[in-house]
Homo-oligomer: A and B are copies of this chain.
Amino acid sequence: MKYQQLGLIGCGLMGGSFALAMKQAGLVGRVVGYSKSPSTTERARQMGVIDQTAESALLAVAGSDIVLMAVPVAATDATFKAIRHLVKPDVLIMDVGSTKRDVVDAARRTLRERIGSFVPAHPIAGKELAGVEHADAQLYRDRQVILTPIAQTQPELVVQAERLWAALGCQVRTMSAEDHDAAFAAVSHLPHLLAFAYMAGVMQQKESEAFLQLAGPGFRDFTRIAASDPAIWRDILIANREEVLKQSERFRGALGVLEQTLKDCQGESLEALVQGVAQVRSHWRLNTRQK
């Protein structure tokens, strides 16, 4: 399995890291890249992340046998429109979006009968530091990648995608876009929403600066995701808002139970509750390829 040309649409952290990983693994001949901002594309070329710049998304697809769309979720629709005339059955097209129902919907609307080439993908990896400067050939190593093919997706392209991500050191899973979005609302999108809300609540207080100077390692880890990219998280949270709001509702219920134990000074109930979650959390391990 070796591709002649990767067409990279979006040369930021996610796309740039994919290009570097593909090169390092010897899986691609050359990389042609396009980014909305010409300065990003140029920087990617200077850094050796891509070999050649393209003037448009369509030109990045021209002559490529594999295409990765690594653009903000909200730009998916426009990107599909820009490239659809060059989408051919033998070209593997993937995205890296954190939500999948909206991406699949956009693909249905835009690619129509050419949708079989598109294998929706979500690599569970990232950094708080966006931009091609932080691109890293190891970003995807030992991470999970979720593929959410639909009935029309060409099965051989799904197999290709599975092999490719596995060759980059990932553990690959396949599920429906609906199951994906429900699960990630619970384990990723809600935590981000809560971390944003928590920080906003602290910052509203006039003592917030003094408070933040006292914060320790627990705060550091709990709020790390509150420093995530605002535009990316705007798109994710709005794209998956129904599932996120369902999870938030459930969370409010659980918080209410805990608050009630405090109001009533019910030490035993509180301890039992914390014991239950602490046990599950202390046995949980990040699911990686190696473990």
- Chain A residues with CB under 8 Å of chain B are 74, 124-126, 128, 143-144, 146, 173, 182-184, 186-188, 190-205, 207-208, 210-231, 233-235, 237-238, 241, 244-245, 247-248, 250-255, 257-259, 262-263, 265, 267, 270-278, 280-282, 284, 286-287
- Taking the full assembly, how many copies of this chain does it contain? 2
- Selected contact of A218 from candidates B225, B254, B281, CB within 8 Å: B225
A interface SS class = helix
A86 to chain B, nearest CB (A): 30
- Selected contact of A238 from candidates B190, B237, B241, B265, CB within 8 Å: B265
A178 to chain B, nearest CB (A): 12
A157 to chain B, nearest CB (A): 23
Contact in complex: B124, A216 (CB < 8 Å): yes
Contact in complex: A196, B274 (CB < 8 Å): yes
Residues of B within 8 A of A251 (CB): 197-198, 201
Bound-state Cα–Cα, A235 to B104, Å: 49
Residue ID in chain B nearest A123 by CB atoms? B216
Residues of B within 8 A of A254 (CB): 197-198, 200-201, 204
Residues of B within 8 A of A202 (CB): 186-187
Contact in complex: A214, B184 (CB < 8 Å): yes
Residues of B within 8 A of A237 (CB): 262, 270
Residues of B within 8 A of A205 (CB): 186, 250
Chain B CB count within 10 A is highest, among A191, A235, A248, A252, for A191
Contact in complex: B284, A212 (CB < 8 Å): yes
Bound-state Cα–Cα, A58 to B223, Å: 42
Residues of B within 8 A of A211 (CB): 183, 186-187
Residue ID in chain B nearest A124 by CB atoms? B216
- Known contacts: A222-B225, A262-B237. The answer to whether A187 contacts B203 by CB under 8 A is no
Contact in complex: A262, B250 (CB < 8 Å): no
- Known contacts: A192-B218, A226-B277. The answer to whether A250 contacts B186 by CB under 8 A is no
Residue ID in chain B nearest A280 by CB atoms? B203
Contact in complex: B271, A231 (CB < 8 Å): yes
Contact in complex: B188, A215 (CB < 8 Å): yes
Bound-state Cα–Cα, A245 to B276, Å: 22
